[in-house]
């Protein structure tokens, strides 16, 4: 089997299959525990961002300032997206109930959901480049890398599905848009195969953009929502489930730093 075909299969396996498995887990077992899952999702996102994506970006790129600027611009860009939808909604409330409800649904879907999809797209693009790089060394290393990426993608994607459902996405739409976002890994695989020497500079910036989106969603959407939850759920219980998310992320991504 040719190297390019193996790269395409490996990127498809590591992204789309992990998304489908995460969707099955989320929709069948976990969506009834949305409150707890929001806490776990928060722990997953901030841990992946701070202990996986950002360290990788700083390790690859020698200029830490440029990574910092990428984080800053990404956060402001995501804020601009959310502000646009909120502002658009407030200026069109008078247009009628049906239109208002449609805009409200769009705004809800945009809050958190769109940002997490953007971050995932960059993250998956980078994963595709990494898989292609590994295959350029050897086929066995490529498949090991693909399975390692899939192992850490599944728990993260479960957290992403919780964010999308919380943001107002229907299950079918959440699955569809997550798969579309996951397909960028195949684009990254193609870039890596044909243009590896020309696209390597993109990798740390893609990591930084993905990290910014995860941090932004956790801090601007999930944590405030958790703080507003019913008083029956104490701070200690909420922190416990956030720490469970942290532990899952550490267990899933720990092997990725063995290199």
**pLDDT for 100:** 40
The answer to whether residues 143 and 239 touch, using CB atoms and an 8 Å cutoff, is: no
**pLDDT for 72:** 93
Q: pLDDT per residue over 83-126, tens digit each?
A: 776 665 444 444 444 334 333 444 444 456 777 888 888 888 88
Instruction: Tell which residue, 45, 96, 94, 67, has the closest CA to residue 215.
Output: 45
**pLDDT for 106:** 41
Q: Got the DSSP string for 79-116?
A: HHHHHHHHHHHHTSGGG-HHHHHHHHHHHHHIIIIIHH
Cα separation, 146 vs 43, in Å, equals 24
**pLDDT for 35:** 72
Instruction: Tell which residue, 15, 259, 8, has the closest CA to residue 127.
Output: 15
**pLDDT for 254:** 66
Cα separation, 139 vs 2, in Å, equals 10
The answer to whether residues 158 and 30 touch, using CB atoms and an 8 Å cutoff, is: yes
**pLDDT for 109:** 46
**pLDDT for 112:** 61
**pLDDT for 1:** 66
Residues, the chain, total? Answer: 259
**pLDDT for 146:** 85
Q: pLDDT per residue over 40-51, tens digit each?
A: 878 888 888 898
Can you list the residues of the chain whose pLDDT is less than 50? 89-110, 255, 257-259
**pLDDT for 230:** 55
What lies within 8 Å, CB to CB, of 102 at 6+ separation is none
């Amino acid at each position: 089997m040719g190297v390019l075909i193996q790269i395409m299969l490996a990127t498809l396996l590591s992204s789309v299959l992990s998304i489908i498995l995460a969707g099955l887990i989320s929709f069948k077992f976990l969506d009834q525990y949305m409150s707890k899952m929001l806490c776990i999702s928060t722990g997953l996102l901030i841990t992946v961002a701070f202990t996986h994506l950002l360290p990788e970006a700083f390790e690859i790129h020698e200029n830490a300032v440029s990574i910092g600027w990428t984080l800053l611009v990404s956060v402001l860009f995501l804020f601009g997206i959310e502000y646009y939808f909120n502002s658009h909604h407030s200026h069109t409330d008078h247009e009628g109930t049906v239109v208002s409800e449609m805009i409200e649904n769009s705004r809800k879907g945009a809050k958190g959901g769109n940002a997490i999809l953007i971050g995932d797209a960059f993250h998956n693009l980078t994963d595709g480049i990494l898989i292609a790089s590994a295959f350029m060394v050897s086929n066995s290393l490529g498949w090991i890398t693909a399975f390692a990426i899939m192992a850490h993608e599944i728990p993260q994607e479960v957290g992403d599905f919780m964010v999308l459902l919380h943001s107002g996405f229907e299950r079918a739409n959440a699955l569809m848009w997550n798969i579309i976002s996951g397909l960028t890994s195949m684009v990254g695989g193609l870039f890596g195969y044909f243009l590896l020497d020309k696209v390597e500079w993109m990798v740390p910036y893609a990591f930084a953009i993905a990290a910014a989106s995860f941090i932004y969603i956790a801090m601007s959407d999930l944590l405030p929502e958790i703080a507003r939850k019913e008083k029956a759920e104490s701070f200690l219980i909420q922190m416990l489930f956030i720490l469970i998310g942290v532990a899952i992320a550490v267990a899933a991504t720990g092997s990725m730093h063995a290199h």
